[in-house]
Amino acid sequence: MATIMISTRIDENLLAEIDTYAAAKDKTRTEMIGSLLLAGLAAQGGVNERLPGWDAKEIARVAVEYYRGLAAMFEANNWPERGAQMLPCVQRRVAEEYDSVEKFIDFHAAQKPEEFRMSLAKKQTIPHTAKDTEVEPWPTKTSGQRDFMRDLVKKHGLNKEVVCANFAEALQSGEVSWKNNTTNSTPEKYADAVWHDGRMKGWFQG
């Protein structure tokens, strides 16, 4: 039988978030931590991830691992709800923004949590206005992808399905280069990840 080692040192902010989830689900802190651990095991193939409630557990896991809490995840994605309004809306917001929980998981899995948080912190220090997007404040290593995605949005509007399909075709033809594809994603998944990255970075409005 595998032994799971759990550190007893947990950040107080994380405990506060866990307590919030627990209260909303009418669970104790211990029960909630157990649920989060099961979600973590499911992500690693240790348990059946399709058990009832798997999607809520996965969203909670991503919120804790990648954002250090639900509130920070809402802020980073520019979702308007705050406080007690967040939990009832989170699954709907994920579905609207990422199309599905699976795509939400894939998008975040493309980076390690520590790298994601560092990248997110860097983005939040840059002024986020329409004018700023014109002076190209973002790292030059993604300029080709950014500019190509922007051109597609100008041509097709905020039609994600059409924009991502055209971006995926451009990847396959070599018209736009693959970069940082550490998870060996398909062109379609890679295009979807670039779309969400662009939304968070302010490459285009909407």
Residue 35 domain flag = yes
On whether both 25 and 103 belong to a single domain, the answer is: yes
Residue 206 domain flag = no
On whether both 55 and 87 belong to a single domain, the answer is: yes
Calculate the average pLDDT of the chain. 74
Task: Provide the pLDDT confidence category of residue 58 given band limits of 50, 70 and 90.
Answer: very high
Domain end position, chosen among 90, 113, 136: 113
Asked whether the whole model's pTM tops 0.75, one would answer: no
Tell me which residue range forms the domain holding 41: 12-113
Alpha helices per DSSP H over the chain: 12-24, 29-43, 54-67, 70-76, 86-98, 101-109, 113-124, 130-134, 143-156, 160-173, 187-201
On whether both 74 and 150 belong to a single domain, the answer is: no
Q: Are 93 and 38 in contact (CB under 8 A)?
A: no
On whether both 18 and 102 belong to a single domain, the answer is: yes
Residue 146 domain flag = yes
Q: Are 153 and 147 in contact (CB under 8 A)?
A: no
pLDDT > 70 in the chain, percent: 71
Q: Is the dihedral of CA 62, 125, 185, 134 positive or negative?
A: positive
Domain end position, chosen among 81, 113, 145: 113
167 Cα distance to chain centroid: 20
On whether both 83 and 37 belong to a single domain, the answer is: yes
Number of structural domains (the chain) is 2
Task: Provide the pLDDT confidence category of residue 62 given band limits of 50, 70 and 90.
Answer: very high
Q: Are 179 and 141 in contact (CB under 8 A)?
A: yes
On whether both 16 and 108 belong to a single domain, the answer is: yes
Total count of residues recorded for the chain:
206
Residue with tokens 């912190």: 121
Domain end position, chosen among 83, 113, 143: 113
Q: Are 160 and 100 in contact (CB under 8 A)?
A: no
144 Cα distance to chain centroid: 22
Residue 119 domain flag = no
